[in-house]
Amino acid sequence: MNVSLRLLRAFISVSQEGNVGRAAARLFVSQPSLSQDIRRLEREVAVKLFVRGPQGMALTAPGQELARCVEAALAQIDLGVEQARRLEASDQRRLLIAFSPSIGNKLMPELLPALEGRLRGVSIDEREVDTGEVGPGVRIGRFDAGLAHCPDNEPGLVATLLVEEPMCIALASEHPLASRDTLRLAELADLALLIWPRESAPHYFDRVMQICERSGLRPPVVRSARRTIVRSYLLAEGDSFSLLPSSTAALQPPGISFVTVADDDVTVPLMFLRRVDDEREELRAIELIAREMSASLSATA
């Protein structure tokens, strides 16, 4: 086989996005070029990897197995590259921070310039990964530290609460309830819950389901992409809602409105993660600055 890393990364992007157009935008390539790459990969492995339909691209059973193996292999390759770079630039005090997608809505764009301005002699790199990958990546040394909403418990890590961020309700702008200033979750009984697959972030998934149950709401679940807001077009259809960190409202996707939750204690913890045996002063400083910058999220609505 003549399968390059470029083809494999293209395959993973399409599998995660479920749509060639969005995957092409994510990779900064043209849609026709990405479609050709996927067809070439299918020819090389002699397996049909996707079922193509009006709603996008869905992995076949063989495609799912290949995606699982390729994601693990790419993670190891990335780890090797990062470790090699660290050895090369060890005297530059370079730090790599992982963050889950929801952190990129508001906090990371504000945190990065603050870190660069206040941590002299430290080079900060960032990497967006699934919520469920932040903790394991920090634990094995792929990342120096991590920021995630409601990460799973990981042995060998120190998880520090930065803030309890209020959650908000995302639903179609055309829905009658979208014009309200606040909503109780029980009022959404006629809608399904659009949420990521549990396996991508089990602890976070369970937290959302517990919040719903505590409010007397047991909605049917519609599984979305790993990043729920990527499937905002499903919300725009008016049959579902999502429960998301309030900072998500900064994205303002078309056709979607965000409404404040009237129920008490509907929050999601934002955590800073580092290894137990990693006491570098730079990480302590990042944690303190992240805590300072994230304080504004507690009032986000």
Same domain, 148 and 275: yes
Do the domain assignments include residue 154?
Answer: yes
Distance, CA of 214 to CA of 185 (rounded, Å): 10
How far apart CA 163 and CA 287 sit, in angstroms, is 12
Q: What is the band of 152 on the pLDDT scale with cuts at 50, 70, 90?
A: confident
pLDDT at 93: 73
Q: Is the pTM of this model over 0.75?
A: no
* Mean pLDDT value of segment 263-279: 94
| Claim to verify: residue 193 and residue 221 sit in the same structural domain | yes
219 shares its domain with 275: no
Out of 3-12, 123-132, 230-239, 263-272, pick the least confident: 230-239
Let me know: does 231 contact 225? Beta carbons within 8 Å: yes
Can you give the pLDDT at residue 164? 94
Q: Which of 4-18, 138-152, 214-228 has the lowest mean pLDDT?
A: 214-228
* Domain range enclosing 65: 5-72
Domain assignment present for 141: yes
Residue 277 and residue 151 in one domain: yes
Q: Per residue in 42-63, pLDDT tens?
A: 999 999 999 988 878 899 999 9
The reply to whether 85 falls in a domain is no
Predicted confidence (pLDDT) at residue 95 exceeds the cutoff of 50: yes
81, part of any domain: no
pLDDT at 84: 77
DSSP symbol at 151: P
Residue 114 DSSP SS3: helix
Q: How far apart are CA 112 and CA 145, in angstroms?
A: 14
- Are residues 260 and 199 both part of a single domain? yes
Judged against a pLDDT cut of 70, whether residue 281 lies above it is answered with: yes
51/180 same-domain check: no
Q: Residue 77 domain-assigned?
A: no
State the helix-helix crossing angle for 5-17 and 31-45, rounded to 10 degrees. Answer: 110
Are 178 and 250 part of one and the same domain?
Answer: yes
Q: What secondary structure, in 3-state letters, does 25-66 show?
A: HHHCCCHHHHHHHHHHHHHHHCCCCEEEECCEEEECHHHHHH
Residue 258 lies in a domain: yes
Q: Which of 169, 133, 139, 142 is nearest to 156 (CA)?
A: 139
Contacts of 227 (CB under 8 A, 6+ apart): 101, 196
The identity of residue 50, as a single letter, is F
**What CATH number is given to the structural domain containing 185?**
3.40.190.290
pLDDT band for position 255 (cuts 50, 70, 90): confident
What average pLDDT does the segment 188-196 reach? 91
Say if residue 199's pLDDT is above 90.
Answer: no
pLDDT digits (tens, 9 = 90+) for 162-184: 999 999 999 999 999 999 999 99
Residue 24 forms part of a structural domain: yes
pLDDT average, residue stretch 274-290 = 93
107-118 pLDDT, tens per residue?
Answer: 999 999 999 889
Nearest CA among 15, 286, 300 for reference residue 160: 286
Domains identified in the chain, total number? 3
CATH code at 26? 1.10.10.10
Shared domain check, 118 and 37: no
- pLDDT score of 35: 92
Q: Residue 301 — very low, low, confident or very high, per pLDDT cuts 50/70/90?
A: very low
| Residue 232 lies inside a defined structural domain of this protein | yes
Is 167:264 a contact under the CB 8 Å cutoff?
no
Query: Looking at residue 101, which CATH number applies to its domain?
Result: 3.40.190.10
